[in-house]
Structure 1
Amino acid sequence: MAPALEQADGRWAWVVLLASLVSQALTVAFPSCIGVFFADLMRDFQASNSEISWLPSIMGAMLHAGGPLCSILVKRFSCRVAMMVGGVLASLGMVASTFSRSLIHLFLTAGLVTGLGMCFSFQSSITVLGLYFVRHRPQANALASIGISIGVTLWPLLARYLLETLGWRGTFFLFGGIFLHCCVCGAILRPVATAVVPEPREDPPLLPKTPTRSCLATCVSAIQHHLAFDILRHNMGFCIYVTGMTWMLLGFPLPHIFLVPYALHHGIDEYWAAMLMSVIGFCNIFLRPIAGLLAGRKSLAAYRKYLFTGAILINGLTNLICTVSADFWVLLSYCLVYSLSMCGCGILIYQVLMDIVPMDRFPSALGLFSTLCGITSLISPPLAGLLLDATNNFSYVFYMSSCFLVSASLFLGVGFYAADKKLKREDGQAKMEPTASEITPMGGLTSEDKDRTKRQLCPENMYVTSV
């Protein structure tokens, strides 16, 4: 028996929103607690900061770079299958990492396998929101991103408590069981339907036989489709977004990874150091719904991307506070200010992408964006670790983060402004040219031709999407 189809913006959509929120709390927020384990991992594996930094970098890279595989899973099966497969992979990776006797084994299990599983669960939770919500899509994205804030609040505290009780191996084993809750979230995703009637049309003529494409040509075509290279070539806004965000992510994750080690290095108590990341997450729990309501206003729809670039700029400048002093109250002030800018970045990062590309190509666009972000996420923490080992000064890490964020915000702001000016200029030229209706009036058409023309100009389509 086929499952009942759910309407977009219907009642079940809010249940799906809750599942997306929990999934994001379990996946995207998880790397924020890895800094708690740095000292124990360095001691057990006799490793340096730069070597241990590869664990969150590999995990973060796979969290993004698995996007094309997730896109294929979503289109071939459904968001439900992708999320449940992700939960199983993330759980297996964490359980297998408890048996690690070398850093390579730890990187392959906790980094590669768990990161890929988190990618499947996270990106399918983002895609399903675009399918379930139409009118309330900005608000839905903002509310779902509260899950990241909840995760950032709870993961470091839970990790600190379990580390003292069970050690890092026992903690990772328990984390494997927690990741299985992504399977429960995936089971909630039911098929969704959009109300449209198929366009009346005549039977298409038989197409002439075309030669069968080679295997290489088929693979290249599939890669171009799933990585949205066609959008990249023809959509200037998407090109600007991808370039700027790739550059930005060289600096954005660094405070999340190095804030707790920075506090510990300057003698702050372990619990208070872990509390700093929790403060950022706790503030975002209340800030994101308010920001989501503001971002969802129709009057601000045209300015969302500029609000986004402003949030990135403030986020980069905020990191300079950490370079002033390592006193607990200074760092606490930093966390409070940082949470404001992080809120703006978090609720708009995917909403701006949905505004730039058509929703039917969003999974492919997200796949390309995630792949490039995965490369930068793989490079950024080890570079910061090398800088830290060479200077033994955490301030340079925050300088590095601020530099990438500020320069990326300037590039995005100028690029979006130039793209809008070009679009307005093209629209003005198009209005000055005579339209087809002025050249060929409908007066010479029969009533049947007029009806057919109207149907072609205003088609009403119905698409049934299995989520």
Structure 2
Amino acid sequence: MPQGETAPQASKLQDRGWAWMVLIAAVLLQGLTLGFPSCVGVFFKDLQSDFQATNSETSWFPSIMTAVLHAGGPLCSILVERFGCRTTVMLGGLLSGVGMVASSFSKSIGQLYLTAGFISGLGSCFSFQAGITVLGYYFVRRRALANALASTGVSIGLTLWPLISQYLLDEMGWRNTFLIFGGVLLNCCVCGAVMRPLPVKPAATSLKSSPSHSAEGINLSNGNTPHHEARQLQSRCATCFQTLQKYLAFDIFCKNKGYQIYTIGVAWMVMGFVLPLIYLVPYAILNGVEERKAAFLVSIIGFVNIFMRPMAGLLSGLKIFSGRRIYLFSVAVMFNGLSNLICAVSAEYSVLVVYCLVYSVSMSVIGALIFQVLMDVVEMDRFSSALGLFTILESITILIGPPLAGLLVDLTGHFSYVFYASSFFMVSAALFMGFSFCILVTRKKVTEPHKPTQENPFRGKYTEVPTEFGPEKNAPPAVVYVTSI
């Protein structure tokens, strides 16, 4: 959506009327994009058999797709600033559809990495993150409600995609299924078409090439060329540094210990967090569970998330957790890691159903809190750039986690080790974050005993309407890129 000041007539469209159509489109977008990787495990054994690939080689496909979906945030933000949310969503839908159609003709696992992994993953990133951004323009007073409702699309997609995938796989094979998925993902373009831009006032223009400036440039060019070139180089370096500061907050990472601990902890956590969603279905099939019943296990996780995520959000909003959400988050991560031991001990279908129920509860809390805690540890005026670095580091570990687990299966021959590895990553991350924040807060109290509580850097300063727009209360928020787990 073009940058600029919101026109008076735009406020008439916010929180009412067409805004609710945009919200419905955002729900569908999240189901089509974020929910899609959950069905990849259904095709794991077929892809492995057709391409004669190892577990590690096959697992690179969902890893690349999920990692690109997270890592493409800064690029998506640039596209939104340049072309607007509507165009970016439609471009993402086109890339997703083309990537899946091309993947149905793949002759090697490497081609699948490029088509379904990179191209479709990047398209899903554009559609999802631009769709979330446009909600910030259409909703002001009800923005929190809109984002909460939009997030249910992830759970709905997590519920439906595996069931649909297994049915189509049984009826027509994985290639024809991927071809159909390409057409389904093109519906992101339809959702993007609904997201028409709000009217904006034209931003004040400046004369970049006035006669005086032109003359100055000529004099500099003729009089002191080396000095002029040095100034140009310095200007370019400064622009590059400002761009990095805008999208990747390295300065916050170096100075803010809370952000540093949380970013490292979550990056370590996701190495284990994504493993059950990828390996649960092949693990169940290998242990004699019927394919359709195995796919239903992932749908159970998605169905529970539909109801548990809003409840987790309400729970975290209680005053008792104000400034302490990091500890609630750490407990959920610990609980999630320990739940994987249930799956590792037994592969009986009844045990796997219990595992999915327990796992989905902790997963709901993690998904509801992961970005709320980030808002607690950084100031909101730098949240956009802090989120950029956060998701980049997160995507790196998402990329390498499943292939490492696949290599572990290839070496040992037992899928249960995947769930032991997941437990290790989750539990160690929970202990690291929980104890580190305890030590950090204790040191803060010792070194600054008289400092007011509200200045504690780990307490959230979250506001529904960003403050950088000054007195204009209905102005749109800064363009941010948001991912979800």
Smaller-chain TM-score bracket: 0.7 to 0.9
Alignment counterpart, residue 151 of structure 1, candidates 127, 148, 157 = 157
Superposition map of 1:259-274 within 5 A: 259-274=280-295
In 2, Cα distance between equivalents of 1:97 and 1:258: 21
Alpha carbons of structure 1 residues 424 and 121: separation in structure 2 relative to 1, 3 Å: farther
Deviation at 1:78, TM superposition (A): 3.1
Q: Percent identity?
A: 58
In 2, Cα distance between equivalents of 1:77 and 1:335: 42
The aligned residue for residue 342 of structure 2 is: 321
Within the alignment, does 1:72 sit opposite 2:72 as a pair? no
In 1, Cα distance between equivalents of 2:430 and 2:51: 39
Deviation at 1:36, TM superposition (A): 1.0
Deviation at 1:424, TM superposition (A): 5.2
Deviations 1:265-306 (A, max 9, x none): 011101100111011111111222222332334553323222
Alpha carbons of structure 1 residues 363 and 7: separation in structure 2 relative to 1, 3 Å: farther
Deviation at 1:429, TM superposition (A): 4.2
Deviation at 1:20, TM superposition (A): 2.7
The aligned residue for residue 465 of structure 1 is: 476
The aligned residue for residue 409 of structure 1 is: 430
Aligned AA for 2:371? Y
The aligned residue for residue 116 of structure 1 is: 122
The aligned residue for residue 354 of structure 1 is: 375
Deviation at 1:246, TM superposition (A): 0.4
Alpha carbons of structure 1 residues 229 and 33: separation in structure 2 relative to 1, 3 Å: same
Aligned AA for 1:464? A
Deviation at 1:82, TM superposition (A): 2.7
Superposition map of 1:180-195 within 5 A: 180-189=186-195
Contact 2:96–2:182 at 8 Å: present in 1 too? yes
Alpha carbons of structure 1 residues 295 and 21: separation in structure 2 relative to 1, 3 Å: farther
Alpha carbons of structure 1 residues 429 and 58: separation in structure 2 relative to 1, 3 Å: same
Alpha carbons of structure 1 residues 299 and 130: separation in structure 2 relative to 1, 3 Å: farther
Alignment counterpart, residue 248 of structure 2, candidates 215, 227, 250 = 227
In 2, Cα distance between equivalents of 1:368 and 1:37: 32
Deviation at 1:353, TM superposition (A): 2.1
Structure 1 residues 166-175 or 72-81, which shifts more? 72-81
- SS of alignment partner, residue 375 of structure 1: helix
In 2, Cα distance between equivalents of 1:415 and 1:129: 35
In 2, Cα distance between equivalents of 1:7 and 1:241: 39
Contact 2:11–2:474 at 8 Å: present in 1 too? no
Alpha carbons of structure 1 residues 162 and 379: separation in structure 2 relative to 1, 3 Å: same
Superposition map of 1:61-460 within 5 A: 61-129=67-135, 139-189=145-195, 211-212=231-232, 213-422=234-443, 428-430=449-451, 460=471
Deviation at 1:142, TM superposition (A): 3.6
How many residues are paired up? 427
Could you tell me the TM-score, scaled by structure 2's length?
A: 0.80
In 1, Cα distance between equivalents of 2:292 and 2:166: 7
Deviation at 1:129, TM superposition (A): 4.7
Structure 1 residues 14-23 or 389-398, which shifts more? 14-23
- Please list every run of 5 or more consecutive structure 2 residues that lacks an aligned counterpart in the other structure: 1-6, 201-216, 218-227, 453-469, 480-485
- SS of alignment partner, residue 82 of structure 1: helix
Aligned AA for 1:116? L
Alpha carbons of structure 1 residues 182 and 408: separation in structure 2 relative to 1, 3 Å: same
Alignment counterpart, residue 10 of structure 1, candidates 15, 27, 37 = 15
In 1, Cα distance between equivalents of 2:250 and 2:178: 38
The aligned residue for residue 209 of structure 2 is: none
Alpha carbons of structure 1 residues 170 and 178: separation in structure 2 relative to 1, 3 Å: same
In 2, Cα distance between equivalents of 1:220 and 1:403: 38
- SS of alignment partner, residue 161 of structure 1: helix
Aligned AA for 1:39? K
Deviation at 1:136, TM superposition (A): 5.4
Structure 1 residues 174-183 or 256-265, which shifts more? 174-183
In 2, Cα distance between equivalents of 1:296 and 1:137: 15
Could you tell me the TM-score, scaled by structure 1's length?
A: 0.83
- SS of alignment partner, residue 182 of structure 1: helix
Contact 2:56–2:406 at 8 Å: present in 1 too? yes
Deviation at 1:13, TM superposition (A): 5.0
Alpha carbons of structure 1 residues 128 and 361: separation in structure 2 relative to 1, 3 Å: farther
Deviation at 1:327, TM superposition (A): 0.4
The aligned residue for residue 197 of structure 1 is: none
Contact 1:193–1:464 at 8 Å: present in 2 too? no
Contact 1:7–1:193 at 8 Å: present in 2 too? no
Deviation at 1:128, TM superposition (A): 4.3
- SS of alignment partner, residue 322 of structure 2: helix
Structure 1 residues 118-127 or 44-53, which shifts more? 118-127
Contact 1:138–1:292 at 8 Å: present in 2 too? no
Deviation at 1:145, TM superposition (A): 2.3
Deviation at 1:96, TM superposition (A): 1.1
Alpha carbons of structure 1 residues 430 and 307: separation in structure 2 relative to 1, 3 Å: closer
The aligned residue for residue 205 of structure 1 is: none
In 1, Cα distance between equivalents of 2:374 and 2:24: 22
The aligned residue for residue 51 of structure 1 is: 57
- SS of alignment partner, residue 145 of structure 1: helix
In 2, Cα distance between equivalents of 1:140 and 1:304: 22
Deviation at 1:214, TM superposition (A): 4.8
Deviation at 1:23, TM superposition (A): 1.6
Contact 1:97–1:106 at 8 Å: present in 2 too? yes
Aligned AA for 2:75? L
- Please list every run of 5 or more consecutive structure 1 residues that lacks an aligned counterpart in the other structure: 195-208, 432-458
In 2, Cα distance between equivalents of 1:185 and 1:359: 29
Deviation at 1:169, TM superposition (A): 1.2
The aligned residue for residue 450 of structure 1 is: none
Deviations 1:316-365 (A, max 9, x none): 11000011111000001101111110110111112222333344433322
